[in-house]
């Protein structure tokens, strides 16, 4: 997640666009509620055909929750354009006895096509988190994860996440957030885990290694973190996008009426191949969401 204001800019209008990462609801005390209608208006402005709506049920992130049930109710009239995801905080109840599988299974039966956004303030390999990964894999839905210094916590180089990727090889992980995108470069510093590093990208970053090595790892390009990763070194970013076009998903992290979104403009300036644009803007999402 990320918050920035004001909107506008040109659109990639030649393609169908699926946004893999949006939110709705009253999320902060000082910002107005962002409704399903508000989201649809912004989608129309940005040329987005379909959007995934991710509930927020981890207390580390926002002032208020946006629950799975509230998302399902809010988008009921807009199922042709809004796709619900589900969420469960892994710390519910007795940590040794709590099983999230029946809850997630019920949400899937109600139309949820993915899990996330996972923002729990736990180590990424915590045994409670692993219950979520296992359930998502068994139910064959992708899971969107936010990495920073406080949520889905990992060390520099993402060693714990790589361990999880191997253990849960049938689970589709869609990575996102400041720590994840800092790892596009091979010279990550501890302060980068919740920041927006600048300057040229040093080849050999863990992001590309994980995308290229594991079939079950994807990434979404949303928020300040994704925009920053592509903007800090445009020449490197263009080649990165081409090489990894089968594993990348368009996303905005829309959650405010006035939010500034630049990812579409950044992608347009990259002058990618037709095949890369198609994959990133909608084909990869269609495959993961089984549309």
- Structure confidence by residue, pLDDT tens digits, 189-248: 999 999 999 999 999 999 999 999 999 999 999 999 999 999 999 999 999 999 999 999
Percent of the chain with pLDDT over 70: 96
Write the CB contacts of 124 (distance below 8 Å, at least 6 apart in sequence): 145, 147, 152, 153, 154, 160, 161, 164
pLDDT, one tens digit per residue, over 49-89 is 999 999 999 999 899 999 999 999 999 999 999 999 999 99
What is the model's pLDDT at position 6? Answer: 38
What is the model's pLDDT at position 4? Answer: 40
pLDDT > 50? residue 278: yes
pLDDT mean over 106-112? 98
What is the SS3 assignment for the chain?
A: CCCCCCCCCCCCCCCCCEEEEECCECCCCCCCCECHHHHHHHHHHHCCCEEEECCECCCCCCCCCECHHHHHHHCHHHCCCEEECECCCCCCCCCCCCCCHHHHHHHHHCCCCCEEEECCCCECCCHHHHHHHHHHHHCCCCEEEECCCCCCECCCCCHHHHHHHHHCCCCCEEEECHHHHHCCCCCCCHHHHHCCCCCCCCCCCHHHHHHHHCCCEEEECCHHHHHHHHHCCHHHHHHHHHHCHHHEECCCCECCCCCCCCHHHHHHHHCCCHHHHHHHHHHHHHHHHCC
What is the model's pLDDT at position 7? Answer: 41
pLDDT mean over 253-262? 95
Percent of the chain with pLDDT over 90: 93
Check if the beta carbon of residue 47 is closer than 8 Å to that of residue 12: yes
| Angle 141-142-145 from CA coordinates, rounded to 5° | 140
What is the model's pLDDT at position 47? Answer: 93
More confident residue, 4 or 201: 201
Question: Can you tell me the distance from the alpha carbon of 53 to that of 72, in angstroms, rounded to the nearest whole number?
Answer: 9
pLDDT, one tens digit per residue, over 139-153 is 999 999 999 999 999
Domains and CATH numbers, the chain: 18-289 (3.20.20.140)
What is the model's pLDDT at position 61? Answer: 87
Question: Can you tell me the distance from the alpha carbon of 69 to that of 273, in angstroms, rounded to the nearest whole number?
Answer: 40
pLDDT > 90? residue 9: no
- Residue 1 binned pLDDT confidence (cut-offs 50, 70, 90): low
What is the model's pLDDT at position 12? Answer: 63
């Amino acid at each position: 997640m990320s918050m920035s204001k004001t909107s506008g800019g040109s659109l990639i209008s030649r393609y169908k666009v699926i946004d893999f990462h949006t939110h709705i609801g009253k999320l902060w005390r000082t910002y107005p509620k962002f409704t399903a209608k508000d989201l649809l208006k912004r989608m129309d402005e940005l040329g987005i055909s379909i959007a995934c709506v991710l509930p927020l049920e981890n207390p580390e992130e926002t002032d208020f929750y946006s629950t799975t049930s509230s998302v399902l109710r809010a988008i009921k009239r807009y199922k042709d354009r809004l796709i619900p995801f589900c969420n469960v905080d892994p710390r519910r109840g007795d940590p040794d006895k709590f099983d999230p599988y029946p809850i997630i299974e019920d949400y899937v039966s109600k139309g949820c096509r993915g899990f996330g956004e996972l923002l729990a303030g736990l180590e990424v390999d915590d045994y409670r988190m692993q219950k979520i990964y296992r359930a998502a894999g068994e139910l064959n839905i992708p899971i969107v994860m936010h990495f920073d210094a406080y949520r889905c916590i990992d060390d520099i180089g993402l060693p714990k996440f790589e361990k999880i990727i191997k253990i849960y090889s049938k689970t589709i992980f869609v990575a996102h957030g400041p720590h994840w995108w800092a790892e596009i470069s091979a010279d990550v510093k501890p302060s980068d885990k919740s920041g927006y590093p600048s300057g040229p990208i040093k080849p050999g970053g863990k992001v590309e290694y994980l995308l290229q090595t594991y079939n079950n790892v994807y990434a979404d390009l949303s928020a300040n973190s994704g925009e920053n990763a592509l903007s800090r070194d445009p020449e490197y970013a263009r080649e990165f996008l081409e090489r990894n076009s089968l594993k990348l998903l368009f996303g905005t992290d829309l959650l405010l009426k006035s939010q500034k979104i630049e990812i579409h403009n950044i992608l347009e300036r990259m002058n990618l191949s037709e095949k890369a644009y198609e994959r990133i803007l909608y084909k990869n999402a269609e495959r993961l969401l089984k549309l």
